[in-house]
Amino acid sequence: MELKAWEYEDLPAFDEPVEGARWIETTGDEVGARYVPNVEYEYVDGVSRVLQILIPNSRNHKAPRPDRAASQTYPCIVYVQGSAWMTQDVYANLPCIARLAEFGYVVAIVQYRESGIGVFPDQVRDARNAIRFMRTHATEYAVDPTRVAVMGDSSGGHIATFTGILHDDGSEHDLYPGVSGEPAAIVDFYGSTDLTFDDSNPSTPNHNLPDSPEGLVMGGANLREDAAAREALTTRCNIDENTSMPPVLIMHGTKDRIVNTRCSVLLHKHLVATGHSSQLFLLRGADHGGPEFWTPTTLGIVDKFLRKSL
């Protein structure tokens, strides 16, 4: 074989008979992910926030690079990693989240301003600015800007749902004027969406006290005494028949020790009662997160929902 810089199409394939070898056919459409780490999407009050971006990549449709444009675009999921609204480990769930790229989605994992740096709804504003960033840089990251969803787990599920409620385009918090921060669909994995009942966080003894996760994200508020703050942080208390909101898909385990399953049940019932599109899937025996949420079955449900909604 001649030594040169071969183009893939020109390189002759090895096809000699080999005793004992087994041959596996490939198509070139098998999808993996290209990982682009720590992309800054906002710098607010001296605080930089970044995205972990995953782009579908295959032999036939290679992910874009600085020297190469994408051969096609994909719908985008802006993913909000949960952390009890505190400092996130945005790398912890990368192996599971990368599976969404294999379904044909660009995924951008959001680092939001944690409690102590930002008071709610700063985290929601961050997620909406991340959506705007991905639309602004659609060509760079192979995104179809007309098809952007938001997804999150735990506190990230809470932020994801509020991303479809807090319509702040054109406000002082909008870092990309003229670019929509509206998601076209919401996926909520076991979101801490309701703080109105006593055991909404069943294994948190300081639930709703100033030093609890929910108290800290509200600036150290005592949510046991401050009903208005408690309701401000509860998703369903901010939704009525006139609320503009995209379709919602909710998944929650039935043995969640961190966030009571009833949080998702109450949200789903309220969405339906107020005329909004909501689907609820309850995973029998599942705890707060885990592999049960990242199976071909569950991700197939998410993919079907997003394909229809986007």
Residues 28 and 60: their CA atoms lie apart, in Å, by 5
Per the listing, tokens 């929601």 go with 124
Residue 1 lies in a domain: no
Q: Containing domain of residue 142, as a range?
A: 8-309
Nearest to 263 by CA among 213, 217, 201: 201
Number of domains the chain is built from: 1
- Give buried/exposed letters for 101-138 (b at 16+ CB in 10 A, else e): bbbbbbbbbbbbbbbebbbbbbbbbbbbbbbbbbbbbb
**305 and 185 in contact (C-beta within 8 Å)?**
yes
The one-letter amino acid at 213: P
Q: What global pTM score does this model have? A: 0.95
Nearest to 95 by CA among 158, 188, 159, 32: 32
Nearest to 168 by CA among 178, 183, 181, 185: 181
Residue 94 lies in a domain: yes
Direct distance between the N- and C-terminal alpha carbons of the chain, in angstroms, rounded to an integer: 48
Residue 155 lies in a domain: yes
What are the pLDDT tens digits along the chain (310 aa)?
789 999 999 999 999 999 999 999 999 999 999 999 999 999 999 999 999 999 999 999 999 988 888 889 999 999 999 999 999 999 999 999 999 999 999 999 999 999 999 999 999 999 999 999 999 999 999 999 999 999 999 999 999 999 999 999 999 999 999 999 999 999 999 999 999 998 999 888 899 999 999 999 999 999 999 999 999 999 999 999 999 999 999 999 999 999 999 999 999 999 999 999 999 999 999 999 999 999 999 999 999 999 999 9
Residues 269 and 242: their CA atoms lie apart, in Å, by 16
Per the listing, tokens 């780490």 go with 37
Nearest to 106 by CA among 69, 145, 136, 68: 145
Nearest to 145 by CA among 56, 40, 74, 72: 74
Query: In the structure, how many helices (H) and strands (E) does the chain have?
Result: 7, 8
Phi-psi region of 85 (alpha: psi -120 to 50; beta: other; left: phi over 0): left
Residue 2 lies in a domain: no
Nearest to 130 by CA among 205, 79, 91: 79
Residue 67 lies in a domain: yes
CATH code, 14: 3.40.50.1820
Residue 24 lies in a domain: yes
Residue 282 lies in a domain: yes
